[in-house]
């Protein structure tokens, strides 16, 4: 299964078109020739971030593209056509990404390329030193049974976390309601008794003024009536007028007195009748009723204003809205007690089930750790580390997380007795071989289409390098291997070989065959591509003539 890589103005490469057709591909060249530019181009295609510094000196724009055969089960590309990914890097920062010539995001590109290309550089060894990454490696290598248990745990843990978050949200809302509507139970009955309506505060104030005016008028009328009619202990003006008339009669002659009295006899009864009528309309009882109505109205209006001040609201509409909201919130506050109780019971059940799932996952991890540790140890023995024993420890932790309640540790022992974490005892070469051993034991279904190893042989040499190369070649049966290397032994095992050379300020990349490949292997062996002894040695290792090793290798190509 071939793939085509195109590079334009990236690093030291102005232009290069590379066709990968082999299963085990070596890319070699002098230090500084530009091999890292190939790796950088592949990193860009897997979705890594870019910067203007990746561009070839003096250029404003660079491009990398990769044509791949489609893989089944990829949700991003569903057709049977070749998969084409492309990135354009600009000095201005306006970078673009395309999949099948359609614009795409970096996250989409990264998701797509996980199945196609994985890059293992010297920095990938750091992954072996991080406990979280060690757990991820164990889980990825643990097969379907472990993954199902992990998925079950994640599902239970996620539900429990979501319900706990919901409970916290309810508690937060309850606290807010209790704070905002602390006085609602006292104020709501007052609002209900006031019988509010929109705009009533204006109507009530108008009515208050009208009642005040009526009471004032009635009080004046009552005074006037009292002055006219008088009371039990004090005569009124009418009584005084009648006495005055009677008194005047005594000074008039009898005949004149009768006429004088007769003149008043019709008027005084009329005045008394008028006073009685006025008393009926403005009497003390009617005044009391009016005063009581004014007092009640002022009390109601005062209660309204007091509530407005308490709630910092200035209209009846806002009070009605408060009453509606407060009633609803208090109703929810009451019902939430039962909801929280139910949720707490549900969380408790989920936590119990999560604990059971975490225990089951731990047991499966320990079983797989033992199995995988034995396989990795056996692989390390094949990689010239015969005395090394590799072990994966799975230790319980108190707190359950989405990954379980375990801590995973990669342990090394040189004698099978004293085990220490790999980060404390493993050398660079040992980490390189461990990284390869991990890839070898990983299920084939988890391997990408292409694995890129960038100088993963660092720290290796001699038989260890050769054995590493043989394992890489074995691994190439499961996925394509692209190996950037300085090690002649590894390069000689490849079935396709590319040479990277610096010509002036430019980098040239070409596939090498036959004598040209022999010269490159000779250069890697001795530093001189033309040394006869180095060329003879190169021919031998390319033909698989290695003393003490019974194996077949590829032809000279």
**Per-residue tens of pLDDT for the chain, all 557 residues:** 568 999 999 988 999 999 999 999 999 999 888 888 898 999 999 888 877 788 888 899 999 999 988 765 555 555 567 889 999 999 888 899 999 999 999 999 988 988 888 887 655 556 667 788 889 888 888 888 999 999 999 999 999 999 999 999 999 999 999 999 999 999 999 999 999 999 999 999 999 999 999 889 888 888 888 888 777 778 888 888 878 877 777 777 777 777 777 777 777 777 888 878 777 777 778 888 888 999 999 999 999 999 999 999 999 999 999 999 999 999 999 999 999 999 999 999 999 999 999 999 999 999 999 999 999 898 888 777 888 899 999 999 999 999 999 999 999 887 777 888 887 877 766 777 787 788 778 777 778 888 888 876 665 667 777 777 888 888 888 889 999 988 888 899 999 999 999 888 788 999 999 999 999 999 999 989 999 999 999 998 888 755 443 333 344 44
Residues in contact with 299: Cβ distance below 8 Å, sequence separation at least 6, in sequence order: none
Q: Is 233 exposed, middle or buried (0-12, 13-18, 19+ CB in 10 A)?
A: exposed
- Could you give the 3-state DSSP secondary structure of residue 496? strand
| Cα 64 versus chain centre, distance | 32
- Rounded to an integer, what distance in angstroms lies between the CA atom of residue 340 and that of residue 169? 10
Alpha-carbon distance values, 7 to 64, 105, 270, 320, 496 (Å): 5, 20, 124, 71, 19
Beta-strand relationship, 96-99 and 83-90: antiparallel
Number of other CB atoms surrounding residue 273 within 10 Å? 10
Q: Which has the closest alpha carbon to 22: 433, 507, 511, 465?
A: 511
pLDDT of 551 reads: 37
Instruction: Find the DSSP H helices in 129-266.
Output: 131-141, 143-180, 184-194, 200-229, 237-249, 254-265
For residue range 341-391, what is the model confidence (pLDDT) as tens digits?
Answer: 999 999 999 999 999 999 999 999 999 999 999 998 988 887 778 888 999
- Rounded to an integer, what distance in angstroms lies between the CA atom of residue 522 and that of residue 520? 5
The domain limits of the chain are: 200-314
Strand order in the sheet with 13-20: 13-20, 3-10, 61-68, 83-90, 96-99, 102-103
Q: Which has the closest alpha carbon to 303: 317, 319, 318, 288?
A: 319
Largest CA distance in the chain: 180
- Rounded to an integer, what distance in angstroms lies between the CA atom of residue 413 and that of residue 377? 10
For residue range 289-310, what is the model confidence (pLDDT) as tens digits?
Answer: 888 999 999 999 999 999 999 9
Q: Which has the closest alpha carbon to 213: 285, 288, 294?
A: 294
pLDDT of 128 reads: 67
CB-based contact 116:386 (threshold 8 Å): no
DSSP for residue 551: -
Alpha-carbon distance values, 525 to 222, 277, 537 (Å): 131, 137, 8
- Could you give the 3-state DSSP secondary structure of residue 222? helix
Q: Which helix (H) or strand (E) holds 89?
A: strand 83-90
pLDDT of 234 reads: 81
């Amino acid at each position: 299964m071939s793939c085509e890589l195109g590079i334009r103005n990236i690093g030291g490469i102005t232009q290069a078109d590379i066709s990968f057709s082999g299963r085990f591909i070596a890319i070699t060249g002098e230090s500084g020739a530009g091999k890292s530019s190939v790796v950088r181009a592949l990193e860009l295609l897997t979705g890594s971030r870019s910067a203007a510094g990746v561009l070839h000196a003096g250029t404003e724009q660079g491009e990398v593209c990769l044509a791949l055969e489609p893989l089944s089960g990829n949700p991003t590309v569903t057709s049977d056509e070749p998969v084409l990914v492309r990135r354009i890097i600009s000095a201005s920062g306006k970078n673009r990404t395309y999949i099948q010539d359609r614009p795409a995001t970096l996250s989409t590109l990264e998701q797509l390329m996980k199945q196609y290309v994985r890059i293992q550089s010297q920095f990938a060894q750091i992954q072996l030193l991080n406990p979280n990454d060690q757990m991820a490696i164990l889980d990825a290598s643990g097969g379907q049974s472990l993954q199902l248990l992990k998925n079950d745990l994640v599902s239970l843990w996620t539900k429990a976390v979501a319900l706990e978050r919901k409970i916290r949200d309810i508690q937060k809302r309850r606290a807010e309601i209790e704070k905002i509507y602390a006085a609602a139970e006292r104020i709501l009955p007052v609002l209900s008794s006031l019988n509010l309506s929109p705009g009533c505060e204006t109507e009530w104030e108008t009515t208050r003024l009208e009642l005040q005016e009526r009471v004032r008028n009635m009080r004046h009328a009552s005074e006037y009536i009292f002055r006219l009619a008088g009371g039990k202990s004090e005569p009124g003006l009418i009584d005084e007028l009648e006495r005055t008339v009677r008194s005047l009669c005594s000074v008039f002659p009898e005949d004149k007195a009768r006429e004088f009295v007769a003149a008043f006899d019709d008027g005084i009864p009329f005045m008394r009748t008028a006073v009685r009528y006025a008393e009926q309309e403005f009497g003390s009882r009617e005044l009391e009723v009016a005063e009581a109505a004014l007092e009640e109205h002022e009390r109601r209006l005062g209660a309204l204003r007091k509530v407005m001040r308490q709630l910092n609201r200035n209209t009846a509409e806002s009070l009605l809205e408060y009453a509606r909201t407060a009633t609803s919130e208090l109703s929810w506050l009451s019902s939430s007690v039962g909801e929280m109780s139910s949720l707490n019971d549900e969380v408790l059940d989920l936590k119990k089930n999560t604990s059971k799932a975490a225990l089951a996952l731990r047991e499966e991890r320990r079983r797989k750790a033992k199995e995988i540790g034995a396989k990795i140890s056996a692989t390390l023995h094949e990689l010239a580390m015969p005395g090394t024993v590799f072990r994966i420890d799975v230790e319980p932790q108190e707190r359950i997380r989405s990954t379980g309640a375990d801590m995973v540790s990669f342990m090394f022992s040189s004698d099978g007795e004293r085990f220490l974490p790999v980060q404390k005892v493993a050398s660079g070469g040992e980490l390189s071989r461990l990284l390869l051993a991990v890839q070898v034991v990983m299920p084939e279904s988890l391997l990408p289409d292409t694995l890129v190893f960038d100088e993963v042989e660092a720290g290796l040499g001699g038989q260890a390098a050769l054995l590493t190369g043989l394992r890489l070649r074995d691994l190439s049966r499961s996925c394509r291997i692209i190996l950037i290397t300085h090690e002649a032994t590894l390069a000689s095992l490849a079935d396709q070989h590319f040479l990277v050379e610096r010509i002036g300020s430019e980098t040239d990349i070409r596939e090498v065959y036959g004598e040209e490949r022999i010269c490159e292997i000779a250069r890697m062996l001795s530093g001189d591509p033309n040394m006869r002894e180095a060329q003879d040695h190169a021919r031998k290792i390319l033909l698989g003539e290695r003393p003490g090793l019974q194996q077949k290798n590829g032809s000279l190509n």
